[in-house]
Amino acid sequence: DAKTTQPTSMDCAEGRAANLPCNHSTISGNEYVYWYRQIHSQGPQYIIHGLKNNETNEMASLIITEDRKSSTLILPHATLRDTAVYYCIVRSTHRDDKIIFGKGTRLHILP
């Protein structure tokens, strides 16, 4: 699986959009971008995934650049409950690949 690079930490004001970047410059054509988050002391939670088109669900939007070398997870109206570690993972769904979690981005939502 391709490696990802994320900032160690970020701050965002409550009510504003939180934009979390992820670099995956070595991603291959059959690899998807997945995002998970982990709120303190809880199990990770799946957020969203995409291949090349932008995706949106009830939790977030995922914007993938045209060359697919980077992506941004957008939480449109961040709340204090969105404070968590966010993991960006690239993974092929053509093989039985395991998820490799890196260290993620620690997002702090400020009141």
Partner 1 sequence: NAGVTQTPKFQVLKTGQSMTLQCAQDMNHNSMYWYRQDPGMGLRLIYYSASEGTTDKGEVPDGYNVSRLKKQNFLLGLESAAPSQTSVYFCASSVQSRAEQYFGPGTRLTVT
Q: What is the CA radius of gyration of the chain?
A: 13
Report the residue from 87, 90, 105, 109 that binds partner 1 according to the rule CB under 8 A.
87
Q: Enter the DSSP assignment of 66.
A: T
Cα 4 to Cα 77: distance, rounded to the nearest angstrom: 25
Question: Residue 45 or residue 79: which is nearer to partner 1 going by CB?
Answer: 45
Binding of residue 8 to partner 1 (CB under 8 A) = no
Binding of residue 98 to partner 1 (CB under 8 A) = yes
Report the residue from 8, 40, 42, 67 that binds partner 1 according to the rule CB under 8 A.
42
Report the residue from 41, 58, 67, 111 that binds partner 1 according to the rule CB under 8 A.
41
Binding of residue 50 to partner 1 (CB under 8 A) = no
3-state helix, strand, coil in the chain (%, to 5): 5, 50, 50
Answer yes or no: are the C-beta atoms of 101 and 46 closer than 8 Å. no
Binding of residue 66 to partner 1 (CB under 8 A) = no
Tokens of 35: 């995002």
Residues at the site binding partner 1, with contacts judged by CB under 8 A: 34, 41-46, 49, 87, 91-104
